[in-house]
Structure 1
């Protein structure tokens, strides 16, 4: 079952709050705009709330015309981009040039000191697709201009590379405790790129450190439900990997952005990103991971046959994977992940028995350190039991998933598990195990 969209702040709410307007004030502005056009409309606070909460997919054409007038957005822009992408709440991706790379990295540096509280995607789906195509075709350039400062010590670069590899391994098991360490490493790499003196080989190594650290930071933000911050870090990581001429890492980062889109129930955005990334990576393990993420997006779109083909391709690539050809960012990819994600796909496609078989196998194969993945797998398996009306099994798996997720302190996992628990506990009057789960979940929430 595909998780619902997790936009915690709708772009309309963001724009309204940037102007310092209440819902009532926006409704008043719309009413005044309607009067100027001789239209008799009375939007009211309730209508604004429905737009911002997603209860209404999009305002009708008249209201979008009035909103655009109120926000001073051209009607051509509205027609070209569609709702909600035309709202003045989205950033524009930087181009793949030395200046663009510097700008992307400096934005992250600023964000480390002044966190961005937005939680919706900061880049529109169309802009993401365009930037992905540019990434795939533009060759990297060296940074332009002379750099002032001390020459980078090669020993320092080696130390940074070693710490990056160690922190990448830690983020899979120790988040969010290592967040400050990752941010410190990223800050150091960006400052060296900006201010130090180095040769071309060192420049590439520094950008690779920055790309890897930004990718790790993005996952840490994603796990805490901070989607805009995660996206900003992934975009900076993609720029840095491009400057480092590391196409495999760039493909992995592009697939991370696609995974975020699928998580936010935007599979149509994810699929073309994954197809672009797939054509620019050579490692079998990396290709397996990208195929698995593509399968997830296809399943969310309801395409059973394409999902099956992608899962088969992922299995074939994973069987060809060897440690010597596996990049660090895909080193965690394993048969357990193949089974867990296959189960999630079959659940989304309405095949609970097939999903349960894959999830059970995946849980058995998971390393004890992979508790975040375990919590999600158990939640998905609880959903399969619910679909089969096996409420006792559903309650048991949901309780274990809840305990596991709470122990990880990862908001992403906790929220998904809580949603599963809520769906199961709607049946608490029909089975004592579900009533017990309901009471237990309330007690854990109170803690």
Structure 2
């Protein structure tokens, strides 16, 4: 840690205590507050002031009643007590010093990402969702949908290792509400639709963080909730997520994933929002590409571009609104890379990634891995090494398993050319 600790910093010996470590792993900050006062002499009023929590709320949490689930509060508490990020499911905090004692704190990009994420979370309403009580108001589903959309922006700058617990907490809170509260039939359908959306969000974070069993369970729960809600678009998207995950398997699993992706498109039908159809068709194209089906890939990409052209400025569901022409171009380049068509892939990926901001570090690192792959296939080894170096730099500190997984085969192929200085340098970077 740094040499300038705040007065609320917990001593290392307390942070390493088994009971405190267990509490931090489950975000049981009540235990942390109690230990901070009883063992470190930090008053509840000081904790309240530093964490931006009402003093009575701190006392309530310390008695074991209630939980802290919002991203902004988790970040604030971690920084207040100087709790290393890995202990609470966050990326390394800006003030952390590398464990090997080398100079410097976390890279500036990590600080900017954490700051951006916190600013996105600021202002989220603390919705009242008690487990018992009167009937839920008809406006709650829309409020929850807006909250879910705002939290989705965290995925732009953070990996699933950082966001999973937050997204899962939102899903669990809505599921509890559905089980224990009373509501009108239409409100219930709206809540089920939100639940399906939240399950997909949590499932994606689990997948990105390497929690593949949890991801599948959440995707399946999402599909059931969407079907029960009569929300064909979200039901189709749940199938698309299941297909995307299935592509990690063997040949039979990939063939099954293609069929699942095709079902996702059929589920939403031709009358779905253009952005939704574009998203599902691009995922179908990806499934065909991974399965080595070039003609089918081309047809699915054409369908995706055609659907996106129909959008014409009309509002789209927030969970599909990120799909634009740049994203489709990147997906096209990815597909052509998988199909070993580098002369088609490279120009498209270079142009699209030139417009892609480095603040989206995880995604850009992933996309650069396909560009590096295509350069290698084309025999441009030094260019592949340069692009791989950019991807490695971007992926440093990102709480996602996918960039390194994607870069591993590229680095292995580069190993055959390690006599080249540019390649030797990037291989050394990967080992450090």
Aligned to 1:17: none
Q: 2:146 aligns with which of 162, 178, 187?
A: 162
What residue is the counterpart of 1:204 in the other structure? 189
Q: Is the 8 A contact 1:214 1:234 kept in 2?
A: yes
Measured in 1, the distance between the counterparts of 2:426 and 2:358 equals 24
Task: Identify the residue that residue 347 of structure 1 maps to in structure 2.
Answer: 337
CA contact (8 A) 1:402 1:418 kept: no
1:419 to 393, 396, 409: 409
1:277 matched residue in structure 2: 264
User: Residue 426 of structure 2 corresponds to which residue in structure 1?
Assistant: 437
Provide the rounded CA distance (Å) in 1 between the counterparts of 2:332 and 2:208.
21
Q: With CA pairs under 8 Å and 6+ residues apart, which has the higher RCO, 1 or 2?
A: 1
| Correspondent of 2:169 among 184, 187, 196 | 184
Question: Residues 137-156 of structure 1: matches in 2 within 5 Å?
Answer: 150-154=134-138, 156=140
How far, CA to CA, are the matches of 2:286 and 2:140 in structure 1?
A: 40
- Match for residue 261 of structure 1? 246
Distance 1:376 1:255, change over 3 A: same
Could you tell me which of 219, 225, 231 is aligned with 1:246? 231
Q: Tell me if 1:236 matches 2:221.
A: yes
Q: What TM-score do you get using the length of structure 1 for normalisation?
A: 0.63
TM-align CA RMSD: 2.0
Contact 2:366 2:402 in 1 (8 A): no
- Structure 1 runs not aligned, ≥5 long: 1-146
Q: Does 1:291 align with 2:281?
A: yes
Aligned 8 A contact 2:342 2:377 in 1: yes
1:203, CA displacement in angstroms?
0.4
SS of aligned partner of 2:230: coil
CA distance in 2, matches of 1:163, 1:424: 44
Residue 381 of structure 2, aligned match among 380, 391, 403: 391
User: What CA distance in whole angstroms lies between the structure 2 residues aligned with 1:242 and 1:363?
Assistant: 37
Cα shift at 1:158? 4.2
Give 1:280 deviation, angstroms.
Answer: 2.8
Find the counterpart in structure 2 of residue 328 from structure 1.
Answer: 318
CA distance in structure 2 between the aligned counterparts of 1:329 and 1:244, rounded to whole angstroms: 17
TM superposition shift of 1:373 = 2.1
What is the Cα deviation at residue 154 of structure 1? 4.2
Count of residue pairs the alignment pairs up = 296
Maintained 8 Å contact 2:158/2:399: no
Normalised to the residue count of structure 2, the TM-score between the two structures is 0.65
| d(CA) in 2 for partners of 1:365, 1:321 | 21
The unaligned stretches of length 5 or more in structure 2 are 1-130
Cα deviation code 1:393-413 (max 9, x no counterpart): 111000111111224221122
Query: Could you tell me how far 1:216 is from its partner in structure 2?
Result: 0.4
Residue 272 of structure 1: how far off its partner (Å): 1.5
Given the superposition, is the C-alpha separation of residues 263 and 362 from structure 1 closer, same or farther in structure 2, using an over 3 Å criterion?
farther
